[in-house]
Structure 1
Amino acid sequence: MKIYEICFSPTGGTKKVSSLLTSTLEGETVLVDLTSNQADFHNIALTKEDVAVISVPSYAGRVPAVAAERLAMIDGHGARAVLVCVYGNRAYEDTLVELQDVAKQAGFCVTAAVAAIAEHSIARQFAAGRPDTQDAQQLSEFAKQIQTKLSAEDTEEPTIPGNRPYKNAGGVGMIPKPTRECTQCGICAKECPVQAIDKDNPKKVDDKACISCMRCVSVCPHKARRVNPVMLSAAGLALKKVCSDRKECELFI
């Protein structure tokens, strides 16, 4: 049995949560990086003996469209799946039910699900340092429960909260732009999940293609990309009330 860690994680928070689960499950781990703009996901096929941990961030209460499109290319072939949505301490809304639908359409059998918290990818003062030690312990214990269910070949599907039809997808949010420190090294263009940054001129951004995932900000070695500070400050004030109180992981099995 192989454990496929299928993950869309532009800034690393979702990957941290995903790895906390996969490291506890029994089996050889195979990473499938949905963030890659180069991979051919049509070539990935699982078997019924395999297990997939499918992890995505919640973008305004929905699965990122590009992550859903890439997951749909994979042949689940009856493999059991643990669904994970990660959010920045605001709300995950319809992310898990949408991920459930996409996974099932791709041929996966859903066996468990998690809504977990990681540092907000834009307003990084919220959920800073998460997943933390408390989260890690909770997720590790839940992974043991999942392993027990897998070993018992229990195929019961958990009840997952959310709405169908899903909430309307949000529009393009804040778009990172280069600062004067930009050396045009091209790393941001290479790593952009949707190729919104011009490879020949990294200072040029396709605003319509950008999904505000903040990967370019995360990977820039010169810290030379950022969003408009006025907009960032306004977003922080808007989120303060709903993001300040600690939310805990929600577990479904």
Structure 2
Amino acid sequence: MKIYEITFSPTGGTKKVADSLSNELGRDITGVDLSDNNEDLHEFSLKNEDIAIIAVPSYSGRVPATAAERISRIQGNGAKAIIVCVYGNRAYEDTLVELQDIVQKNGFLVVAAVAAIAEHSIAHKYAKDRPDKDDNRLLKEFAAKINEKLKKKDFSTPEIPGNRPYRKAGNAGIVPKPTKACTQCGLCASRCPVGAIDKNNPAKVNRKACISCMRCVSVCPHQARKINGLLLAIVNMMLKKACSIRKECELYI
């Protein structure tokens, strides 16, 4: 049996949640980075006895289209899946149920689902520094319950919240731009999950390809990539009511 940690985590929050779960389930873990535009996912074909933690962020209550497409390249072959959606304290809406449909279509058997919170990738004031110690304690408890279920060979699929058809996919349309501090090192371009940044000129971005994941902002060693201040203020204001009250991690098992 192998444990696979399959994550789409442009800014790192989703991977932190996945790590908290996988570290409790085993030591020999194979990581699969769906955020890597150069990863050859066709080589990953799991076996029936394997376990996969498949984690994605919630983008406007949906699975990011890029993540969905890349997950569809991985063959489950009956492997047991723990699906995880991570959101910035607003709502995850149809993300989990859509992720369930995607992985089941590819041959995985969903045995548990987790919704967890991480710092909002755009409006950092919301869910700041999460997952925190309380989240990690809860996630550790979740992993223990999931492990107990697996040991009992209970591979039943829990009731997972969400709607079919899913809500209409949104598009943040927020494209970070370089500041004067940019040295044109090219790291943002090489790490962009969708190759939207020109490698020869990082100031040039394919706006249609950009998914507003904020990875270019998070990986820049010079903090030289930012979004428009006025636009950020509007986003903060729009999210204030929904994001100000702390939400907790949830387990469906």
TM class, shorter-length: over 0.9
CA distance in 1, matches of 2:229, 2:27: 45
User: Residues 22 and 53 of structure 1 are in contact (CA less than 8 Å); yes or no, is this contact kept in structure 2?
Assistant: yes
Alpha-carbon distance, 1:187 to partner: 0.1
User: Residues 196 and 207 of structure 1 are in contact (CA less than 8 Å); yes or no, is this contact kept in structure 2?
Assistant: yes
CA distance in 1, matches of 2:89, 2:27: 31
SS in 2 for 1:23: helix
CA distance in 1, matches of 2:30, 2:212: 27
Letter of the aligned partner of 2:167 in structure 1? Answer: K
1:205-229 residue CA offsets vs partner (Å, 9 max, x unmatched): 0000000000000000010001111
Query: 2:154: which partner in 1?
Result: 154
CA distance in 1, matches of 2:160, 2:109: 14
Query: 1:132: which partner in 2?
Result: 132
Query: 2:72: which partner in 1?
Result: 72
Gaps of at least 5 residues in structure 2 are none
User: Residues 126 and 244 of structure 1 are in contact (CA less than 8 Å); yes or no, is this contact kept in structure 2?
Assistant: yes
Letter of the aligned partner of 2:141 in structure 1? Answer: E
Query: 1:99: which partner in 2?
Result: 99
User: What is the TM-score with the length of structure 2 in the denominator?
Assistant: 0.99
How many pairs align?
A: 253
Q: How does 1:25-44 map to 2 (within 5 A)?
A: 25-44=25-44
1:55-100 residue CA offsets vs partner (Å, 9 max, x unmatched): 0000000000000000000011100000000000000000000000
Query: 1:219: which partner in 2?
Result: 219
Letter of the aligned partner of 2:126 in structure 1? Answer: F
Quick check: 107-116 or 172-181, which moved more?
172-181
Q: How does 1:169-208 map to 2 (within 5 A)?
A: 169-208=169-208
Letter of the aligned partner of 2:200 in structure 1? Answer: D
The alignment yields a C-alpha RMSD, in angstroms, of 0.7
Alpha-carbon distance, 1:203 to partner: 1.0
Letter of the aligned partner of 1:124 in structure 2? Answer: H
Query: 1:144: which partner in 2?
Result: 144
Query: 1:117: which partner in 2?
Result: 117
Alpha-carbon distance, 1:136 to partner: 0.5
Query: 1:55: which partner in 2?
Result: 55
Gaps of at least 5 residues in structure 1 are none
CA distance in 1, matches of 2:167, 2:55: 20
Q: Percent identity?
A: 62
SS in 2 for 1:24: helix
SS in 1 for 2:31: strand
Letter of the aligned partner of 2:231 in structure 1? Answer: M
Alpha-carbon distance, 1:172 to partner: 4.0
User: What is the TM-score with the length of structure 1 in the denominator?
Assistant: 0.99
